[in-house]
Amino acid sequence: MALLDAALAQRFIDKMGKYLEYNINVMNENGIIIASRDDSRIGDFHEVAYGMLNGTLDTGVVDQEKKFIGTKPGVNLFIEHKSKPVGVICVTGNPENVKSFAGLVKVSLEAMLEYELYMERKRSRRNKAEQFLYYLLFEENPDSGVLNSLAEEIELDKELMRTAIVIKVQKSYDPQYILKALSLSKGYVHTDLATIASNDNIVVLKSVKTKGINDLSDYRYNMEEFIEDFLTRIPDNLQADDFSFYIGSLQNSLGMYRKSYIHALEMFLHTKYKEGVNFFDDNIVDYFRNIVTMKEFDDIFNIYNKVFTEDEQQMIAETVQVLSNNNYNVVNSAKELFMHRNTLVFRLNKIKNTLNIDPIANASDREFLNELAYYFRNK
């Protein structure tokens, strides 16, 4: 598993934030902000953290605004485990004012991380099925020999079609009651496995009943039926809208089951809290966007910062997002934007004439405009 967990980092920031007036950000090994006092920054690329981790920057002190992508003035320090960097923590503000706080925050997070890893080792001492699931999903580089051995011990069908489901609950709850409700739900079968992750999310490796590898038509219906029945069995202090479900990709081999969990986890991390059932298949574009850094987007689209003013960029970002959500239906999009249809057409014509594209009629133009708007929204 990744040593630096987003939920753990956010819990730490929430606690520290009560005592500090400065913003705190935590970046993972890829330079992505995974936790922050400023929710809007989660998921952004942090160029200084990325440079520190790959060795191209020898200091994490930033004293200029907008000098680096996704970075504000402040002090950035390595988060270390066993003397190896596993991420970066930043305290934002005048470096002279925050450097003493930054050191304290770093040491405090490292202590919390060490404790959580200790507890993780304790939690992993479970029955064989849970040991297998923990090793499969949360071990960063699982050994195939060990994985096969654990799978054989529990007589796992290693070619059964499965998908991972990450279940997030917004309220405090007893995970054991949730596991029991899952086990009693219609559609939960003996080949299903469920456990409690270190961040208290529930993870289910769910068998998928289909008509065959060539007919997946019932897949979504079966997943939704399973979840609907589960929600009738949850404890009385919880409601259906306290839950969100993130369903990963379909996989049918032991070596690929973990990919389904990673896809579900990425969706959970980047969509923030989104109640109801969320299928990875509906979020593939967002997934690809998230694994490409904003630096890559900037390399591609930076010229358009000169083509369009800041106001025009904001207009494009807002308009294209709504158009995309409505499959470029102008009438529905105009309603959602609370504007007359002709006003939206005028906006589109301005974009079309400037770039010589037609996103309504041409699919490739539409894809280009969607990514340009994404860049304007997130740069």
Element (H, E) at 168: strand 162-169
Instruction: Please write the tens of the pLDDT for every residue from 144-159.
Output: 888 999 899 888 999 9
Q: How far apart are CA 4 and CA 1, in angstroms?
A: 9
| Residue 126 half-sphere exposure toward CB, CA atoms < 13 A | 16
pLDDT of residue 200: 81
Residue range(s) occupied by CATH 3.30.70.270 in the chain: 157-289
User: Is residue 293 a contact partner of residue 28, using CB atoms and an 8 Å limit?
Assistant: no
pLDDT at 352: 92
* Contact between 37 and 49 (Cβ < 8 Å): no
Alpha carbon distance 125, 38 (integer Å): 36
Give the residue, 215 or 279, on which the prediction is more confident.
279
Which residues in the chain are classed under CATH 3.30.450.40? 6-123
Instruction: Note whether 309 and 341 are within 8 A (CB).
Output: no
DSSP 236: T
Residue 354 reports pLDDT greater than 90: yes
Residue 82 confidence class, pLDDT cut points 50, 70, 90: confident
Q: Of all residues in the chain, what percent carry a pLDDT higher than 90? A: 64
Pairing label, strands 243-247, 276-279: parallel
- In what helix (H) or strand (E) does residue 377 lie, and over which residues does it extend? helix 363-378
This prediction's pTM: 0.59
pLDDT over 50 (residue 31): yes
Fold of 6-123: Beta-Lactamase (3.30.450)
Mean pLDDT of 91-113: 91
Q: 3.40.50.1000, 3.30.460.10, 3.30.70.270, 2.40.50.140: which CATH number matches 157-289?
A: 3.30.70.270
